[in-house]
């Protein structure tokens, strides 16, 4: 773990989530969806691209924010904002206007699609203005989410996503 990750983890433990009204609505009624994911793997980009197409087909407005260790090629078909480790300051803050816009967007649902703990995502989730934050279960991060899916170690991103969509569609109230 590098120094920036340590600082972000420490800030996560010492920062309360913002005073945002959190509540879920039936997924069928949701109009705005945010997606936060690791954009380093082509397979993850393809999975998220298919999800965006499916959600837009269901008349939902979607914004995507991807983290990449290197800037993403412009040939990518997925329209998204991105941030890299260069956007994380020595004190653990993320300095990127697109990240700030994403944090302040009032999504009906924010999907955090990752299969391992990643402190910059926790930073974004804590500050997010989304009404319902959804992601993988991690006991130490339950304050960051309104809805979590418990998956075994090694679960693939597509499996996590399928479970999220399945359960959100089953909840009626």
The tens-digit pLDDT sequence of the chain (173 residues) is 554 444 445 444 545 555 677 788 899 999 999 999 999 888 999 999 999 999 999 999 999 999 998 877 655 667 889 999 999 988 888 999 999 999 999 999 999 999 888 999 999 999 999 999 999 999 889 899 999 999 988 889 999 999 999 999 998 76
d(CA 170, CA 173): 9
Give the model's pLDDT for residue 24: 80
Sign of the four-CA dihedral 161, 37, 137, 146 = negative
**Domains of the chain, with CATH numbers?**
3-14+31-170 (3.40.50)
Task: Determine the pLDDT at residue 7.
Answer: 46
CB atoms within 10 A of CB 122: 22
What token pair was written down for 47? 């999975």
């Amino acid at each position: 773990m590098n120094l920036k990750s340590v600082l972000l983890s420490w800030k996560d433990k010492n920062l309360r989530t913002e005073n945002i009204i959190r509540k879920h609505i039936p997924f069928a009624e949701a109009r705005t969806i945010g997606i936060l994911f690791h954009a380093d793997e082509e397979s993850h980009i393809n999975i998220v691209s298919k999800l965006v197409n499916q959600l837009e087909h269901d008349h939902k407005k979607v914004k995507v924010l991807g983290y990449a260790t290197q800037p993403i090629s412009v040939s990518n078909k997925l329209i998204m904002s991105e941030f890299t480790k260069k956007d994380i300051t020595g004190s653990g803050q993320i300095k990127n206007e697109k990240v700030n816009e994403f944090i302040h967007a009032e999504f009906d649902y924010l999907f955090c699609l990752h299969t391992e703990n990643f402190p910059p995502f926790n930073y974004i989730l804590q500050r997010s203005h989304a009404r319902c934050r959804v992601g993988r279960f991690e006991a130490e991060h339950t304050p960051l989410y309104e809805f979590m899916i418990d998956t075994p170690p090694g679960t693939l991103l597509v499996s996590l996503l399928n479970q999220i969509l399945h359960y959100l569609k089953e909840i009626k109230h």
